[in-house]
Amino acid sequence: MTTGVRITQGTFSYLPELTDDEIRAQIQYGIDNGWAVAIEFTDDPHPRNVYWDMWGMPMFDIEDAAAGLLEVNRCRKAYPNRYIRVSLYNATLTKQTVALQFIVNRPPHEPGFRLLRQETTDRIVRYTLEPYAARDPHGERYDGSD
């Protein structure tokens, strides 16, 4: 297998992959703080891609992280080759933002990014990052296996 780039987005992304127990503990931490739990997935790893697809509704009313982990595992089963992340949303007035977000699933091989140079006027060069995976149509990336 060729070398790839392990993308690092969100919290804990420089650590080894979280185990299920660690994911459960993080979700429980969020629930105990009163944050809503949302599961999102995507096959476009570009860092500026902030709008991932939602896996079901955000869970505002769960008490225990087992429920969050249940949805993570259902999503993994449906999309084993996509990026999946857990977002813990703080809905407090004046906060209203994602408080903690981490990746819980990634494709087996991440091919990385191509650097594009565009030469424009006055010898200016503009740089663009393009995920190799994104050259394939949506849904057929990462070996197209889901």
Partner 1 sequence: MGESKPVESPPLGPGAPPRETAEVYGTPGTEDRFKDLADPMRDIPDDADVGAEGVFEDSHIAEVLDSLDDELIALAEVKARIGEIAALLMIDRLRRKIGLDADVPTLHMSFTGNPGTGKTTVAMKMGQILYKLGYVRKGHLVTATRDDLVGQYVGHTAPKTREVLKRAMGGVLFIDEAYHIYRVDNERDYGQETVEMLLQVMENQREDLVVIMAGYKDHMDRFFSDVPGLSSRIAHHIDFPDYSVDELMDIALLMAESQRYRLAPDAEKALMDYLELRMKQPRFANGRSVRNALDRFRMHQAIRLYKSAERGRKLTKKDLVTIEDADIRQSRVFKGGVYARDSDQERPDPS
Among 25, 66, 91, 116, binds partner 1 (CB under 8 A): 66
Query: Would you say 70 or 91 has its CB closer to partner 1?
Result: 70
Work out the end-to-end distance of the chain between its first and last CA atoms, rounded to an integer number of angstroms.
20
Encode 8-39: b = buried (16+ Cβ within 10 Å), e = exposed.
ebeebeeeeebeeeebbebbbebbeeebbbbb
Residue 139 DSSP code: T
The minimum distance between CB 85 and partner 1, in angstroms, equals 19
Only segment of 39-47, 62-70, 87-95, 123-131 that touches partner 1 (CB under 8 A): 62-70
Report the run of H or E that residue 78 belongs to, with start and end: helix 65-78
Only segment of 60-68, 97-105, 128-136, 138-146 that touches partner 1 (CB under 8 A): 60-68
Residue 53 DSSP code: E
| The two three-digit tokens of residue 119, written as one number | 């030469």
Among 63, 97, 115, 117, binds partner 1 (CB under 8 A): 63
Binding residues for partner 1, rule CB under 8 A, total 11
The minimum distance between CB 8 and partner 1, in angstroms, equals 30
Among 15, 25, 70, 129, binds partner 1 (CB under 8 A): 70
62 is a contact residue toward partner 1 (CB under 8 A): yes
SS3 state of residue 65? helix
71 is a contact residue toward partner 1 (CB under 8 A): yes
59 is a contact residue toward partner 1 (CB under 8 A): yes
Which among 30, 46, 1, 33 has a CA at the least distance from the CA of 102?
30
Which residues of this chain interact with partner 1, rule CB under 8 A?
56, 59, 61-67, 70-71
